[in-house]
Amino acid sequence: MNFYSDYFQHTPQDDFGYSPEWNQEINKWLEFVFYLNKDYYKKNKKRVLIDKQRNELLGELKTIYFFGKILRLNIEDLEPDGKDYTKLDLSIKDLKNNLWKVEVKAPSWKGQLWKDSNLSESQKRIRVSKPKYINGEAGSFSSEEEIKYTVEDSIKNALPKFTKGDNNLLVITPDMHHQIITMLAVSAMAGGSGAIQDEITTQDGTNIISTVLILEPILPALENEVRYSHKFIGVNNKPILPTIAEFI
């Protein structure tokens, strides 16, 4: 069964799907979720018909695949209850059998575009008027300004779903339009990961978030296998989810 074809039967308005390498990787995410929870797989098919929901779903799928297949952690639940009748994206058990509540954020490409200091205002207006995916165009999620905006926006949207006192993990994943080695950009920032920690502390004044994960699948040049670049950032001396390595 080709899971990608099963999900993406419609013709998108943009050039989403032009990369066979990424289509193959998305097929792996869908296959993993299919055998993990068939009800979840079937229920979320309709989300690919709307661009914004499609991008959010892809962020969730890659995160589920990363924890369950790459790190081989137990996926306890998909769409578990969050705070005040909200729904989180998933819950997992770490290597010490601790339960973590997980919310995934794949920030808006238009929001990131408006923060891009490399483009003029007129260039930004022209670009946002076009489809998100354009064949042959490479996006970037690499400037310090963009990263800070992304962290701030993700925290604001995730906080209302988390319950204080739980092990709360916020996953920030650049979407398929922005995938140019964010880890290098974070390392190059003034203060590196510490600058991200400071931003989290500023936005999360009540210390609800335990850990932030920046997750970025990348397809290195001249290679045909996706690598899952990731970085866990602890907050306020709280425990960090056990991991294997920075690159897998």
What residue has token string 């979407």?
175
User: pLDDT tens across 99-156, in order?
Assistant: 999 999 987 554 554 455 555 656 545 444 444 444 444 444 445 666 777 788 889 9
Please state the rounded mean pLDDT for residues 179-205: 64
Could you tell me the pTM of the whole model? 0.81
Does 3 have pLDDT greater than 70? yes
Please state the rounded mean pLDDT for residues 234-240: 67
Does 36 have pLDDT greater than 90? yes
Closest CA to 170 of 83, 96, 90, 114: 90
pLDDT of residue 2: 92
Closest CA to 139 of 110, 159, 166, 162: 110
DSSP letters, the chain, are --HHHHH--S--SS-TT--HHHHHHHHHHHHHHHHH-HHHHHHTGGGGGSHHHHHHHHHHHHHHHIIIIIS--EEEEES-B-GGG-B-SEEEE-TT--EEEEEEE---HHHHHHT-TTS-HHHHHHHHTS-S--TTPPP---SHHHHHHHHHHHHHHHGGGPPTTS-EEEEE---TT--S-HHHHHHHSTTTHHHHHHHHHHH-TT----EEEEEEEE--TT--S-EEEEEEEE-TTPPPPP-S-SB-
Please state the rounded mean pLDDT for residues 17-42: 91
The proportion of the chain whose per-residue pLDDT surpasses 90, expressed as a percent, equals: 38
The pLDDT mean for the chain works out to 77
Please state the rounded mean pLDDT for residues 71-77: 95
Does 87 have pLDDT greater than 80? yes
The proportion of the chain whose per-residue pLDDT surpasses 70, expressed as a percent, equals: 66
Supply φ then ψ for residue 44, to 5 degrees. Answer: -90, 0
Residue type, 245: A
Question: In whole angstroms, what is the distance from residue 60 CA to residue 58 CA?
Answer: 5
For the ranges 8-12, 109-113, 192-196, the lowest mean pLDDT is seen at 109-113
Contact 155, 209 (CB under 8 A): yes
pLDDT of residue 10: 66
Structure tokens at 190: 């003034």
pLDDT class of 160 with cuts at 50, 70, 90? very high
pLDDT of residue 148: 73
